[in-house]
Amino acid sequence: MPRSLGNAIAGACVLAACAVPVRAQSIWQRLDLDKLRLEGIGVATGPVSPSTIVSTPSYGVQADYGEIARHVRIVFSGSYWSSRFDDKTVQRFITQLDKSLADPADSVKFSRVNVSAISLEADVRYVPTSQRAAVQPYIGGGIGLHIVNAQSKLIEHTFVESALDNIGAGISAIAGIGLLPAHRVSVGVEARYTVLGTMRFGTVRAGGMFHFSRQRQPPIVSTP
C-alpha cells in the first residue's frame, strides 16, 4: 500500500471520528444532526480523469453516518490517486520556455510532471427509496479538502511547482446506485465530478460497504 494512500485512509478515519453527535439548536435540531452515528464503512475504487492529466485508478474509504432528514444521508470519504500530466501539456510548456531562451541553441530537456491528490470529503445524498429497498439510487453533492502535490525535475524549486501544489476546498456533484445483496452488505457504483480551483476531474467508483445496523425487512403477517 502506498504511503500516501495510508495517509489518506488515516485522514478519512480522523475525519469520520471528528463527526461526533452534537447538540444543536433551531434548524440543526430539525435536521437531526444529533442523531448522526457511524452506520457503515466500506471501500471503493475506480478511474479518475483529471483535465490535462492521464487517467488513473483512485482508491478510497467511506463512512456512512446515517440520515439527517428523511431520505437524506451523510457520508464521509477519503481517497487517493497518483498520475502525471499528459505529454502534450508538458511539451507545450517546454515549447513556451524554449521561446524565452536568449540563445536559440539552448533547449529545455523534457521531463514528466507527476501529480497526486488526497481528498477528504463530506457528501449529502438524497435517497428516494427506503433503507430496506434492494435497489437504492441517489444524487447529491459534497464539499471537501483536497491536497495536490506535483513533482518533476522540470519544475523543481520554481514558482510553477508552488502554483501546482495546492491545499484547498472543492465541491462535487454525485450520482450513484446501491444494491443490497445481503442484510448488512451493500455494493454500488458512483459517478462524481469535482471542481477544485483550476482543476476539474471526473471519477467513477465501484465498491462495497458493511453496515453495522440496518433494519431488516419486517415479516409479512397474513390474516385469515
pLDDT at 221: 47
Q: Note whether residue 222 is domain-resident.
A: no
Q: Which residue has the higher pLDDT, 76 or 102?
A: 76
pLDDT at 27: 46
Average pLDDT on 172-198 reads: 92
Q: Note whether residue 42 is domain-resident.
A: yes
How many domains is the chain partitioned into structurally? Answer: 1
Q: Note whether residue 52 is domain-resident.
A: yes
Q: Note whether residue 223 is domain-resident.
A: no
Q: Note whether residue 73 is domain-resident.
A: yes
pLDDT range class, residue 105, cuts 50, 70, 90: low
pLDDT at 91: 83
Cβ contact 180:35 at 8 Å: no
pLDDT range class, residue 87, cuts 50, 70, 90: confident
pTM for the model? 0.72
pLDDT of 224 > 60? The answer is no
Cα distance between residue 127 and residue 170, in whole Å: 23
Least confident piece of the model among 126-130, 184-188, 212-216: 212-216
pLDDT of 149 > 60? The answer is yes
Cβ contact 61:78 at 8 Å: yes
Domain CATH for 154: 2.40.160.20
Q: Which residue has the higher pLDDT, 109 or 176?
A: 176
Average pLDDT on 106-133 reads: 87
Q: Note whether residue 61 is domain-resident.
A: yes
pLDDT of 188 > 90? The answer is yes
Average pLDDT on 36-62 reads: 93
Q: Note whether residue 173 is domain-resident.
A: yes
The residue range of the domain holding 50 is: 3-211
Q: Note whether residue 218 is domain-resident.
A: no
- Size of the chain in residues: 224
> Which residues are CB-contacts of 54 (< 8 A; sequence separation ≥ 6)?
83, 84, 85, 86
The predicted-structure confidence for 4-32, as pLDDT tens digits, reads as follows: 545 545 555 544 445 444 443 454 455 55
DSSP conformation class of 134: S
CA 78 to chain centre: 6
DSSP conformation class of 51: T
Average pLDDT on 135-153 reads: 93
